[in-house]
Copies of this chain bind each other. A is one copy, B any other.
Amino acid sequence: MKNKKKLFNDPIYGLIQFEEEILYELIEHPYFQRLRRISQLGLSNYVYPGATHSRFQHALGALHLMSKALDTLTRKGIEISKEEKEASKIAILLHDIGHGPYSHVLEHTFLKESHEDISLAVMEKLNKTFNGRLDLAISIFKGTYEKKYLSQLVASELDVDRMDYLNRDSFYTGVAEGVIGYDRILHMINVHDNQLVVEEKGKYSIEKFLIARRLMYSQVYLHKTVIAIDQMLISFLQRYNEQYILGKTLENNNFTLLFDLYAQKLPVIDTFLLLDDVDVMQLLKSKMNDEDPILRYLSRCIVNRHIFNIYLSEDEISSDFIQECRQKVVTRLKLEKDEITYFFLTGVEKIKTHISKDEICIIDKTKNVKPVSDYLVNFSSEISINKNYICFPNNDYFRA
């Protein structure tokens, strides 16, 4: 068998390579290759044209950072066995394996499970194929392994997942503000009482990390146009689902398969793993001349980037105001009754930059451990900004 330890060329980190052969076997698996067809930021490239990167790249990048993190801890005298290192790397490599197409859109509609739950289920499937060689990785992923800090590297306020995606999304969108000093942070981590901690001299890098994350939420993840597109897509998929349930489409594709299983409360994972961005976009393209005006209009708008108007408010929008708006939109656009749900979209998206119960901890020279918020006097330990939105078709394009 040929040498599998090939080099990957990453635009951000340069040439990257791994020691453990199983990582290459996992990367070659069709489940992992599927991540090539799932963009990291969905339709955010409608706002940031450069942001076409895939979850495949992100998973490799996070794996690379995990290697660096484990090297740092080893250098600082933390004993981590070869098996634990391999398992930690597997856990991060597969952390997004259960991710659906177009970001979290499907999760919000047709799935009860979060993508983390599906990732776990997929890892368990893979574990059978790999004859139990993923046992330890799964335990670390679930957070049940005794060395807590390994799980924290995979999923916590300061995991390598976040570090890679902030860096990567910042790089591809061109939003310089999201750049973080991941290199410095990864040199400053340590372990104390089985917990991942950051040495005090790294506190400013952590502050910068928290700020960068908040900025990326404002400027990218919850950019108003991105919210509008996501809501349009959800609206489209809901309509399609409804039409299917009502028997108005007799198609047979990965979506309808999923709808059927979901309706019958049967396991959906095998079907879910067939889905990727291609299915969503192909479905949209195929409805651009559909008989149903709602599907037709929504698919055209999404494909051709005719984005709905959107109004955002950080305060809750009163139901009176929403009602008033809805009335105006209905009148102006002459909406039919059954169109309103699909064309007048309202709700809330949330930013949380910091969850106090699982805060990043700083250790000082006297081995004293305190949450980072104790250090950052001007920085609230929990920030939760809501983006309440009202979203509806733009007059210029309506029924064009």
A→B interface (CB under 8 Å): 1, 7-12, 14-15, 17, 28, 30, 33, 36-37, 39, 45-46, 48-50, 52-54, 56-57, 60, 171-177, 179-181, 183-184, 187, 204-205, 207-208, 211-212, 215, 218-219, 274, 278-279, 281-282, 285, 303-305, 378-380, 383, 396
CA distance A149 to B278 in the complex (A): 42
Would B187 and A9 count as touching, CB distance under 8 A? no
Q: List 14 A-B contacts (CB under 8 A).
A: A9-B175, A10-B174, A11-B171, A33-B305, A36-B45, A39-B52, A45-B54, A50-B53, A176-B184, A177-B184, A177-B208, A204-B218, A278-B281, A282-B282
Q: Please pick, from B39, B174, B187, B219, the residue contacting A204 in the complex, using a CB distance under 8 A.
A: B219
The number of times this chain is found in the oligomer is 4
Closest 4 CB pairs of A and B: A9-B174, A11-B50, A11-B174, A282-B282
- Please give me the residue from chain B that is nearest to A381 by CB atom: B378
Q: Please pick, from B172, B184, B274, B278, the residue contacting A15 in the complex, using a CB distance under 8 A.
A: B184
Would B37 and A281 count as touching, CB distance under 8 A? yes
A181 — which chain B residues lie within 8 A by C-beta? 175-177
A7 — which chain B residues lie within 8 A by C-beta? 187
Would A187 and B15 count as touching, CB distance under 8 A? yes
CA distance A283 to B166 in the complex (A): 34
Would B52 and A53 count as touching, CB distance under 8 A? yes
- Please give me the residue from chain B that is nearest to A48 by CB atom: B9
Would B180 and A304 count as touching, CB distance under 8 A? no
Q: Please pick, from B53, B179, B305, B378, the residue contacting A380 in the complex, using a CB distance under 8 A.
A: B378
What 6 additional pairs, Cβ within 8 angstroms, besides A10-B49, A36-B49, A37-B281? A9-B175, A11-B173, A39-B52, A49-B56, A177-B179, A279-B285
A281 — which chain B residues lie within 8 A by C-beta? 37, 278
A215 and B219 in contact, given A8-B49, A45-B36 (Cβ under 8 angstroms): no
CA distance A53 to B53 in the complex (A): 8
Would A33 and B304 count as touching, CB distance under 8 A? yes
CA distance A253 to B207 in the complex (A): 47
A208 — which chain B residues lie within 8 A by C-beta? 177, 211-212, 215
- Please give me the residue from chain B that is nearest to A14 by CB atom: B183
Would B60 and A54 count as touching, CB distance under 8 A? no
**Smallest CB separation, A217 vs chain B (Å):** 10
A205 — which chain B residues lie within 8 A by C-beta? 177
Which of A49, A173, A183, A279 neighbours the largest number of chain B CB atoms within 10 Å of its CB?
A49
CA distance A10 to B10 in the complex (A): 18
CA distance A274 to B362 in the complex (A): 45
A219 — which chain B residues lie within 8 A by C-beta? 204
CA distance A367 to B173 in the complex (A): 29
Would B176 and A15 count as touching, CB distance under 8 A? no
A39 — which chain B residues lie within 8 A by C-beta? 52
Would A183 and B278 count as touching, CB distance under 8 A? no
Q: Please pick, from B50, B176, B378, the residue contacting A179 in the complex, using a CB distance under 8 A.
A: B176
**Smallest CB separation, A295 vs chain B (Å):** 17
Q: Please pick, from B28, B60, B303, B383, the residue contacting A305 in the complex, using a CB distance under 8 A.
A: B28
**Smallest CB separation, A21 vs chain B (Å):** 14
